[in-house]
Structure 1
Amino acid sequence: MATHLITGAGSGIGAAVARRLHERGDDLLLLARDAGRAKELAAELPGARTLVGDLANPDRLSWALAQQSVPDRLDSLLHIAGVVDLGPVGELTTKAWHGQLNVNLVAPAELTRLVLPQLRVSNGQVIFVNSGAGLSAGPEWSAYAASKHGLKALADSLRQEEKPNGVRVTSVYPGRTASPMQVKIHQLEGNEYDPSRWIDPESVATTILAALDLPRDAQIDDLTVRPGR
């Protein structure tokens, strides 16, 4: 039975991935921002274990994990959590910058560092769910895109560093996906939200599981997923 540590399992792509892995009997370790959220996640996926750690405060992740039980081995670490805040460079505050950089980039780097020993034991895999904004930045997307461009750099460096240890690293770049984050984006943009126009989270989950389940003689470095409509 494989063991997966997942961030962002409460909604959208993360919830779809967690549900699929849970249904096939894999062992799940779900990171929650606080004890209340951990209780909710455990109720949604009976049998799954939880860890409490706030990605918005990456400096405290090391302390938080040290107070809890982390398995001796992990087969995968799936970075799916993310936050977004739009606005022109001339108006974005340092709070908006720090908020997105912490959750979308610094926390994934720190969490990866903390559990790399467990991933090396199993020749595991790290999957970063990035974004189309991690490849190209549009107007008012500077802070979010910067965090996602940084996430690409993190994945690319990690892939080369950990190849001798047998750890695979994959970046997935979904286009607009029907999720609570997409609802917020449409509100920020002032546009009407129609989920039928965008990728179903289940479709992105399918691509993530394909990368995760690929035989060991191959690996997917980068995977781009775009709306088919």
Structure 2
Amino acid sequence: MPTHLITGAGSGIGAVLARRLLDRGDQVIALARDAGRAREIAAELPGATTLVGDLAQPGRISWALSKQHLPDRIDSLLHVAGVVDLGSVADLAPTVWEQQLAVNLVAPAELTRLLLPILRVSGGHVVFVNSGAGLHAHAGWSAYAASKHGLKALADALRSEEAEHGVRVTSIFPGRTATPMQQRVHQQEGLEYEPERFISPDAVATTILTALDLPRDAHLTDLTVRPGR
């Protein structure tokens, strides 16, 4: 039974992906920011187990995981969690930059580093759910786009470094997706939220599963997903 460790399993793409993995009989481990959120996620995803580690504090993830039991095998590490706060370069305070860089870039790097020994033994797969903003930056998106451009660089470097260990690395670049995060983005933009205009979380989950399920002789490295209308 494959084992998948997912960040962001409590909402949006991560929640849909976790349910689909559970429905097909895979084992899911959800990373939650604290014990209370872990209990909520466990109740929302029957059959899943949880680990606690706050992505907003990357420097404490190692300590947090050292106090918990890690699985002997991880077939995929799925980085789905993310945060976004819009604003112009002229207006963004350092704390806004620091939060987005911490959650969207530094924490995925640190969590991957800590789990690489297990991923190498398992011949595992690391998937980074990036964003269209990881390819093109627009006005008002500087901090978020910078974190996602950095995430692409992290994935590209990791892919080169870990190929000899049999670890595969995939970046997924979804366009705007109908999630609670997208609803918050529209509030920040002052726009009406019309979820039917955007990609469904299920479509992005299908893309991730496609990358995971390829035979070992194939490796999807970068996948861009755009709304169909």
TM-score range, shorter chain: over 0.9
Structure 1 residues 94-144: Cα deviation after superposition (integer angstroms, max 9, x where no partner): 010000000000000000000001111110100000000000000010000
Structure 1 residues 45-73: Cα deviation after superposition (integer angstroms, max 9, x where no partner): 12211000000000000000000000111
CA drift of 1:163 comes to 0.2
Task: Give the aligned residue type for 2:134.
Answer: G
Is 1:155 equivalent to 2:142 in the alignment?
no
Structure 1 residues 144-165: Cα deviation after superposition (integer angstroms, max 9, x where no partner): 0000000000000000000000
Equivalent in the alignment of 1:189: 189
Task: Give the aligned residue type for 1:129.
Answer: V
> 2:29 & 2:182 partners in 1: Cα distance?
26
Is 1:11 equivalent to 2:1 in the alignment?
no
Task: Give the aligned residue type for 2:180.
Answer: P
Task: Give the aligned residue type for 1:102.
Answer: A
Task: Give the aligned residue type for 1:194.
Answer: E
Equivalent in the alignment of 1:41: 41
> 2:193 & 2:210 partners in 1: Cα distance?
29
> 2:39 & 2:107 partners in 1: Cα distance?
22
Equivalent in the alignment of 1:58: 58
Equivalent in the alignment of 1:127: 127
Task: Give the aligned residue type for 2:193.
Answer: Y
Equivalent in the alignment of 2:70: 70
Q: Which runs of 5+ in 2 are unaligned?
A: none
> 1:19 & 1:90 partners in 2: Cα distance?
41
TM-score (norm 1): 0.99
Task: Give the aligned residue type for 2:56.
Answer: A
Task: Give the aligned residue type for 1:95.
Answer: T
Q: Percent identity?
A: 72
> 2:64 & 2:128 partners in 1: Cα distance?
22
> 1:194 & 1:87 partners in 2: Cα distance?
22
Task: Give the aligned residue type for 1:125.
Answer: H
Q: How do 1:13-28 and structure 2 match up within 5 A?
A: 13-28=13-28
> 2:35 & 2:22 partners in 1: Cα distance?
21
Q: How do 1:132-143 and structure 2 match up within 5 A?
A: 132-143=132-143
- 3-state SS of the aligned residue for 1:138? coil
Q: Which runs of 5+ in 1 are unaligned?
A: none
> 1:81 & 1:144 partners in 2: Cα distance?
13
> 1:45 & 1:146 partners in 2: Cα distance?
32
- 3-state SS of the aligned residue for 1:5? strand
Is 1:115 equivalent to 2:115 in the alignment?
yes
Residues paired across the two proteins, number: 229
- 3-state SS of the aligned residue for 1:10? coil
Q: How do 1:161-200 and structure 2 match up within 5 A?
A: 161-200=161-200
Structure 1 residues 154-202: Cα deviation after superposition (integer angstroms, max 9, x where no partner): 0000000000000000000000000000001101110000000000000
Task: Give the aligned residue type for 1:196.
Answer: E
> 1:75 & 1:226 partners in 2: Cα distance?
27
